[in-house]
């Protein structure tokens, strides 16, 4: 057995309910600011051409928002990185509109809705916005999507010996799908991972599989958020990073196995 | 990269269940496409439908996964002794050391499309028997396969449109190289649904007849469905002489447009270059190119430019989508299996449906019987996502 896949964390981007960016989230996780769970605010980034800005659906705004936060925080050109996009579902509003049209007497769906329905829509818009031509892995593992994305990104960094930008994000469905998939709001986190330590790295993580139970958050409202949105399963790790607390964090992953993340501050 | 052993493989498509009818159709240049009569769909288009998909029943304990896509997955898994090979790998390595990496674009969304016809008149609610996680969700396919075998390792669905089940080979190769797993069940399953039939129709990308990849008169795709699986492992020493190996993979993004390829095939070229570099090969080492070849005017033009730029006109190539239809998220897997068959049995498959190919390529119109040592297989998708695989036999 070789060493578990590992990487250095160069920077973080984050958007969620009542959390406009990573510094705001870090302050909440450290207990330095009170969490006001207001509805997640999403904007289409200026890097998109006007046509794509108009067509961008919620998950696209979310994914591009967190990714650009991470690359801006690191002061790097976003076009230079391989990416891993991991999401538990596509854009809920777009999906609902297509299903509604297909169940009606006129089944002609709009071309834009169709191309926005692919799970890799956010990855496609990311390429158009940033000019990134490197590989992009686009994943789904339902509630395990953050863990699956982290494993893929760490394996990429370890095997390719190149930086990788992980973007994990989820947005809510409208009714009637919301009753079947009750994700309450949009939440996304981006981690820019590098194979070597850089001057401003905020620690190193290594991941392996474990049978241990997942860590919870001491604040019950935040722990409810962790359980409600798949990408927010990252919060115990983000809490450790915010406080530079070295140690083992166990994250929710698949039903039969969790992810042990060893964090060295 | 260190080559990986593809120790078992199978594919089910409109050509039939398992490898035998696929091989027979490839040798004969036969197509499995027919005018679309799927569900209540009323479109002037052709489809590649898998016979018997809805006759398959899932085990009672897995009833929550019941949908056309997972029925097709099960139908595919039981062909050619594939499931037994997976069980052998589970006992050799441990159920937690075998990962699941599967591609799909639409998973079981057909269930949601049908459920939307049965919404409550007063509340608009979906029917109580609708199961989102087991059917519609993109991960449902890998979750179903994981539970069908009782696997305990990492599992994920790659969903990057029509490159999905080529890219699973890359993800699996990295995970094996990282040491987290010893073997991986890879592949892809996509099934007919209204979203793709009406969606591609809305983009005017479907043909009104059987698709004609790389033909000068091509006018669009024929949507198919399929289930393809492969078992990928670290290479054994010594390698059996008839081993099929994954020699390389290359991935890229167009960064150009959501539903049109880069007109010069920039991303396609980048993916093929990367696959050759990773395999330590040059263009002249490739005996056959299985083209993405969807049969839309712009896709084939862009891919043709990229292939000509890298290979010239000397490397035999064809698209097998005229036989199978475009199986979307399963296409990379189906075509990797066709590549394996071409190497195993020594043939270059004819591009069914095409009669007047574009100039500038050695486009194969009649199946050739010859030794095939290395195949490059292209899979490109919406959003500008590209993946090329190289399969081969031991040097």
With contacts defined as CB-CB under 8 Å, which chain B residues touch A140? Answer: 137-139, 156-157, 159
**Closest residue to B139, CB basis, from A135, A141, A155:** A141
Chain A residues in contact with B132 (beta carbon < 8 A): 177, 180-181
| Arithmetic mean of pLDDT over chain B | 97
pLDDT (mean) for A225-248: 98
Q: Decide if A11 is inside a domain.
A: yes
Residue B375 and residue A247: Cα distance in Å, rounded?
47
Is residue B56 predicted with pLDDT exceeding 90? no
In chain A, residues with a C-beta closer than 8 Å to the C-beta of B155 are: 141, 144, 148, 254
Span B291-346, pLDDT tens digits: 999 999 999 999 999 999 999 999 999 999 999 999 999 999 999 999 999 999 99
Please identify which of the residues B14, B67, B162, B393 carries the catalytic annotation.
B162
Rounded CA separation A218/B119 (Å) = 41
Q: Indicate yes or no: CB of A209 within 8 angstroms of CB of B180.
A: yes
ipTM over 0.95: yes
Q: Is A118 on the interface with B (CB under 8 A)?
A: yes
CB-based contact B269:B357 (threshold 8 Å): no
Domain contains A249: yes
Measured distance CA(B28)–CA(B93) in Å, rounded: 39
Catalytic-labelled residue, pool B193, B317, B326, B393 = B326
Contacts of B113 in chain A (CB under 8 A): 99, 102-103
Q: Taking each helix axis from N to C terminus, what angle separates B194-202 and A92-102, rounded to the nearest 10 degrees?
A: 90
Give yes or no for a cis peptide into A54 (omega within 30° of 0): no
In chain A, the number of structural domains is: 1
B349: tokens are 């498959």
Predicted confidence (pLDDT) at residue A1 exceeds the cutoff of 70: no
Asked if A177 lies within 8 A of B179 by C-beta distance, the reply is: no
8 A C-beta contact, residue B291 and residue B213: yes
Does the beta-carbon distance from A181 to B200 stay under 8 Å? no
* pLDDT of A127 above 70: yes
Q: Give me the long-range contacts of A25-29 (CB less than 8 A, separation at least 24).
A: A25/A238, A25/A242, A26/A238, A26/A241, A26/A242, A27/A242, A28/A222, A29/A217, A29/A222, A29/A235, A29/A238, A29/A239, A29/A242, A29/A243
Residue of A nearest to B106 (CA): A118
B129-166 residue pLDDT tens? 999 999 999 999 999 999 999 999 999 999 999 999 99
Distance CA B215, CA B40 (A): 31
Give the residue on B whose Cα is nearest the Cα of A119.
Answer: B159
Asked if A123 and A136 touch (Cβ cutoff 8 Å), the reply is yes
* Prediction pTM value: 0.98
> Would you place residue A2 in the very low, low, confident or very high pLDDT band (cuts 50, 70, 90)?
low
Read off the DSSP letter of residue B145: H
Mean pLDDT score, B185-197: 98
Catalytic residue among B14, B36, B292, B393: B292
Q: Coil, strand, or helix at residue B5?
A: strand
Domains with residue ranges and CATH for chain B = 4-392 (3.40.47.10)
CB < 8 Å to B133, chain A:
142, 181
Shortest alpha-carbon distance between residue B68 and chain A (Å) = 17
Q: Which of A2, A123, A124 sits opposite B178 (nearest CB)?
A: A2
Residues in chain B: 395
pLDDT band per the 50, 70, 90 thresholds, residue A231? very high
The question of whether B2 is a catalytic residue gets the answer no
Q: Which residues from chain A sit within 8 angstroms of residue B195, using beta carbons? A: 98, 102, 109, 114, 117
Q: What is the mean pLDDT of residues B255-268?
A: 94
Q: What CATH number has the domain bearing residue A162?
A: 3.40.47.10
Active site (annotated) includes residue B326: yes
CB contact under 8 A, B198 and A120: no
Q: Are B110 and B38 in contact (CB under 8 A)?
A: no
Say whether B200 and A114 touch across the interface (CB within 8 A).
yes
In a domain, A1, yes or no: no
Mean pLDDT of chain A: 97
Range of the domain at A142: 6-264
Tokens at A247, concatenated: 């140690």
Q: What are A70-118's pLDDT values in tens digits? A: 999 999 999 999 999 999 999 999 999 999 999 999 999 999 999 999 9
> Could you read off the pLDDT of A187-200 as tens digits, one per residue?
999 999 999 999 99
Residue A111: the pLDDT is 96
Is A151 part of any domain? yes
Cβ–Cβ pairs < 8 A, chains A and B? 219
């Amino acid at each position: 057995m070789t060493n578990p896949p590992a990487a250095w964390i160069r920077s973080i981007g984050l958007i969620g309910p009542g959390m406009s960016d990573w510094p705001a989230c870090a302050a909440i996780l450290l207990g330095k600011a009170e969490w006001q769970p207001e509805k997640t605010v999403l904007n289409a980034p200026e890097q998109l051409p006007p046509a794509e800005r108009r067509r961008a659906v919620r998950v696209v705004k979310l994914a591009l928002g967190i990714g650009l936060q991470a690359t801006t925080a690191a002061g790097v050109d976003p076009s230079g990185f391989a990416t891993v996009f991991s999401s538990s579902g596509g854009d809920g509003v777009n999906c609902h509109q297509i299903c509604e049209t297909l169940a009606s007497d006129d089944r002609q769906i709009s071309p834009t809705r169709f191309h926005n329905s692919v799970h890799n829509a956010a990855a496609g818009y990311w390429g158009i916005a940033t000019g990134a031509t490197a590989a992009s892995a686009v994943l789904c593992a339902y509630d395990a999507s953050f863990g699956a994305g982290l494993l893929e990104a760490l394996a990429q960094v370890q095997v390719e010996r190149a930086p990788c930008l992980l973007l994990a994000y989820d947005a809510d469905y409208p009714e009637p799908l919301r009753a079947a998939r009750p994700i309450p709001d949009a939440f996304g986190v981006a981690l820019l991972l590098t194979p070597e330590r850089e001057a401003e790295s905020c620690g190193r993580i290594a991941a392996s599989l474990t049978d241990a139970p997942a860590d919870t958050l001491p604040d019950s409202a935040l722990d409810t958020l962790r359980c409600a949105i798949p990408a927010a399963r990252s919060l115990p790790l983000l809490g450790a990073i915010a406080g530079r607390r070295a140690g083992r964090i166990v994250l929710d992953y698949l039903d039969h196995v969790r992810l042990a993340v060893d964090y060295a501050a | 990269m260190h080559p990986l052993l593809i120790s078992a493989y199978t594919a089910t498509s409109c050509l039939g269940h398992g490898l035998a009818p696929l091989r027979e159709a490839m040798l004969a240049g036969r197509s499995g496409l027919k005018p679309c009569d799927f569900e209540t769909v009323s479109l002037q288009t052709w489809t590649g439908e898998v016979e018997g998909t809805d006759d398959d029943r899932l085990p009672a304990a897995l009833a929550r996964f019941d949908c056309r896509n997972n029925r097709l997955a099960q139908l595919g898994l039981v062909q050619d002794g594939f499931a037994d090979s997976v069980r052998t790998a589970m006992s050799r390595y441990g159920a937690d050391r075998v990962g699941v990496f599967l591609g799909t674009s639409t998973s079981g969304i057909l269930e949601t499309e049908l459920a939307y016809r049965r919404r409550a008149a007063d509340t608009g609610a979906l029917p109580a028997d609708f199961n989102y996680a087991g059917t519609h969700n993109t991960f449902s396919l890998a979750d179903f396969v994981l539970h069908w075998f009782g696997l305990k390792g990492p599992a994920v669905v790659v969903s990057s449109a029509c490159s999905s089940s080529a890219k699973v080979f890359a993800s699996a190769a990295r995970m094996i190289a990282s040491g987290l797993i010893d073997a991986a069940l890879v592949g892809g399953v996509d099934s007919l649904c209204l979203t793709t039939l009406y969606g591609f129709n809305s983009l005017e990308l479907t043909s009104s007849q059987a698709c004609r990849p790389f033909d000068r008169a091509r006018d669009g795709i024929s949507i198919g469905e399929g289930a393809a699986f492969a078992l990928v492992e670290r290479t054994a020493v010594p390698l059996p002489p008839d081993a099929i190996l994954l020699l390389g993979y290359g991935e890229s993004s167009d960064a150009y447009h959501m539903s049109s390829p880069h007109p010069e095939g920039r991303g396609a070229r980048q993916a093929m270059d990367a696959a050759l570099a990773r395999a330590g090969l040059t263009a002249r080492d490739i005996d056959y190119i299985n083209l993405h070849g969807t049969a839309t005017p712009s896709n084939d033009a862009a891919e043709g430019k990229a292939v000509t730029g890298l290979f010239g006109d000397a490397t035999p190539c064809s698209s097998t989508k005229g036989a199978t239809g475009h199986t979307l998220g399963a296409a990379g897997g189906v075509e990797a299996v066709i590549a394996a068959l071409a190497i195993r049995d020594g043939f270059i498959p004819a591009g069914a449906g095409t009669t007047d190919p574009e100039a500038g390529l050695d486009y194969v119109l009649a199946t050739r019987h010859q030794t095939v040592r290395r195949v490059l297989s292209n899979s490109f998708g919406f959003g500008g996502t590209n993946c090329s695989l190289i399969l081969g036999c031991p040097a």
